[in-house]
């Protein structure tokens, strides 16, 4: 088995836990799925899986640890996945390395029902999964994985509905939290989003409409890689069922105001994707513009912390008039060089990943633009590297508000006690990191950058921003049962 290690020195970021992709009506569907997963690799680098179906061989699956390019480019492996329909999934570790994750936790999951088999891939998190799992086990269900997503399969098995889509509706009405799901039967590709639309899911088409193949994906960038046309986003609370007759849409859930995850705009999604009809790159560029207006500073250069800080840094430079420069270079290959790093290598931390361009920064006042500050440890190390390279001053500008609350909707977040912003004021964080100034974009500024010109509507926010505001659109039932304390809402807010 290939050895794989996520970067222990790169745990100072929030991690999207997965991406999903599915296709129907094409020859060699598995190859399309592999390409789609490759485009979604930024959403999950720990493991991936593909399930396909052909009339001759039935359902076939392959699950592997590691990158898509290291596993699903093997002709020998791909030949074992025949058929014109398939789905796939990539995931991140929730603990910084493969750790306790077992192969049985790698999606997609498969279940055999009376009316035939079905496979499911889930992006998001079920916030009442522990309660449901306990109930199902007490009633005789036997779980094979530790994933909350497996609850959906068991709930489907207990439904009395006569077909897979209706059983899925039954199951999803029982769960709370966030879900964008791609599923398949022998003849159908199914896509569904929760009523709030927290996580993304889009529909694409391959070829002319008359003989089209259809695609479901977490992001539009995965449509581009296979030459598919973007048709539309799956709407919050919508289920689409796709077969040889075309696309059928239903609304199995109560209509609610959308609460799409705003951190998708800040960090998770690829900058060449389209979210809510808006370019992710455009939003990140505009975040930099808003930051420059809210938090100006006298400086000589604006430098991004690559790669996610780059669009915001360009926007900051354009608005402020301070020249933009790539003062930090990212080493794209460090993850494949150090499979089992020694303690000495581990202590080098971000130096394995980032290197400062001394000729650019020496003697300069530097504005560093990054997407977020989570624990603050990486920010400290980057600041030290910039100073050691001869910079006169270092100013941090952060393209998101302070991350003070954990996410329970499909993002790997440290517990609240380990979030810097949960325990320090902005000035205290500045002193802890050790920079001349530290400023975060305001929540209203972030909303304006995302296309909401009036800013955030406090009575009904347009996005899910719980990691910044502590206002959870869906109560994290399991975590509350474990003692997690929600933010106390003021009378004015109510």
As a whole number of angstroms, the distance between CA 42 and CA 38 comes to 8
As beta bridge partners, residue 439 has 397
The phi, psi pair for 61, rounded to 5°, reads -140, 155
- Determine if the peptide bond prior to 31 is cis (ω within 30°): no
Nearby residues of 413 by Cβ (< 8 Å), 6 or more positions away: 14, 374, 403, 406, 407, 419, 467
Helix residue spans in 362-425 (DSSP H):
377-388, 420-423
Residue-by-residue DSSP string for 60-74? EEEEEES-HHHHTT-
User: For residue 86, which of 211, 215, 177 has the smallest C-alpha distance?
Assistant: 215
Total number of residues shown for the chain: 494
Structure tokens at 329: 């270079």
Q: Are strands 15-16 and 411-412 parallel, antiparallel or unpaired?
A: antiparallel
* Separation between Cα atoms, residue 106 and residue 121, nearest integer Å: 10
Is 467 assigned a catalytic role? no
Q: Is 26 exposed, middle or buried (0-12, 13-18, 19+ CB in 10 A)?
A: buried
Chain centroid to Cα 305, Å, comes to: 19
Q: Indicate the pairing of strand 47-54 with strand 58-65.
A: antiparallel
Contacts of 339-343 with C-beta under 8 Å, sequence gap 24+, read 339/3, 339/4, 339/5, 340/3, 340/5, 341/5, 341/8
Whether omega for the bond prior to residue 124 falls within 30 degrees of 0, making it cis, is no
| Residues facing residue 193 across a β-bridge | 180
Q: Which CA distances in Å does 243 have to 203, 240, 350?
A: 14, 10, 48
Rg (Cα) of the chain, in Å, rounded?
Answer: 23
d(CA 365, CA 99): 41
Alpha-carbon distance of 441 to 283, in angstroms, equals: 13
Closest C-alpha to 145, from 95, 183, 185, 109: 109
Which one of 18, 151, 221, 303 is the catalytic residue?
18
Active site residues: 18
């Amino acid at each position: 088995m290939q050895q794989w290690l996520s970067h222990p020195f790169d745990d100072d970021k929030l991690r999207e836990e997965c991406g999903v992709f599915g296709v129907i009506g094409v020859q060699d569907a598995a190859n399309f799925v592999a390409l789609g997963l490759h485009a979604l690799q930024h959403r999950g680098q720990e493991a991936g899986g593909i399930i396909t179906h052909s009339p001759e061989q039935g359902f076939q699956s392959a699950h592997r640890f590691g990158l898509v390019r290291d596993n699903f480019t093997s002709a020998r492996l791909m030949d074992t996945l025949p058929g014109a329909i398939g789905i796939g999934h990539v995931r991140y570790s929730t603990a910084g390395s493969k750790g306790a994750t077992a192969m049985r936790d790698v999606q997609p999951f498969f279940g055999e029902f009376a009316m035939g088999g079905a496979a499911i891939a889930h992006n998001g998190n079920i916030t009442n999964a522990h309660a449901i799992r306990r109930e199902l086990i007490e009633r005789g269900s036997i779980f094979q994985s530790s994933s909350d997503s497996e609850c959906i399969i068991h709930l489907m098995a207990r439904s009395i509905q006569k077909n897979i889509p209706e059983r899925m509706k039954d199951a999803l009405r029982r769960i709370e939290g966030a879900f964008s799901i791609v599923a398949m039967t022998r003849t159908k590709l199914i896509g569904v989003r929760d009523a709030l639309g927290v996580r993304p899911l889009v529909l694409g088409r391959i070829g002319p409409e008359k003989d089209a193949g259809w695609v479901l994906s977490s992001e539009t960038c995965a449509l581009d890689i296979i030459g598919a046309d973007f048709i539309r986003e799956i709407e919050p609370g919508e289920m689409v069922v796709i077969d040889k007759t075309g696309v059928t849409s239903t609304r199995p859930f109560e209509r609610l105001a959308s609460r799409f995850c705003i951190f998708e705009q800040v960090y998770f999604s690829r900058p060449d994707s389209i979210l809510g009809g808006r370019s992710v790159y455009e939003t990140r560029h505009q975040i930099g513009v808003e930051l420059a207006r809210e938090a100006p500073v006298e400086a000589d250069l604006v430098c991004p912390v690559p790669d996610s800080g780059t669009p915001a840094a360009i926007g900051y430079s354009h608005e402020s008039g301070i020249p933009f420069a790539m003062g930090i270079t990212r080493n794209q290959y460090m993850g494949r060089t150090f499979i089992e790093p020694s303690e000495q290598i581990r202590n080098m931390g971000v130096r394995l990943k980032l290197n400062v361009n001394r000729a650019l920064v020496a003697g300069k006042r530097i504005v560093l633009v990054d997407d977020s500050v989570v624990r603050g440890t990486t920010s400290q190390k980057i600041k030290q590297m910039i100073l050691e390279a001869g910079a006169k001053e270092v100013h941090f500008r952060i393209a998101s508000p302070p991350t003070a609350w954990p996410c329970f909707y499909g993002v790997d977040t440290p517990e609240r006690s380990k979030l810097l912003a949960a325990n320090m004021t902005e000035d205290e964080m500045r002193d802890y990191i050790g920079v001349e100034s530290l400023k975060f974009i305001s929540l209203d500024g972030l909303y304006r950058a995302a296309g909401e010109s009036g800013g955030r509507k406090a009575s009904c926010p347009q996005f899910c921003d719980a990691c910044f505001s502590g206002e959870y659109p869906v109560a994290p039932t399991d975590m509350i049962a474990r003692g997690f304390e929600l933010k106390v809402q003021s009378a004015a807010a109510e």
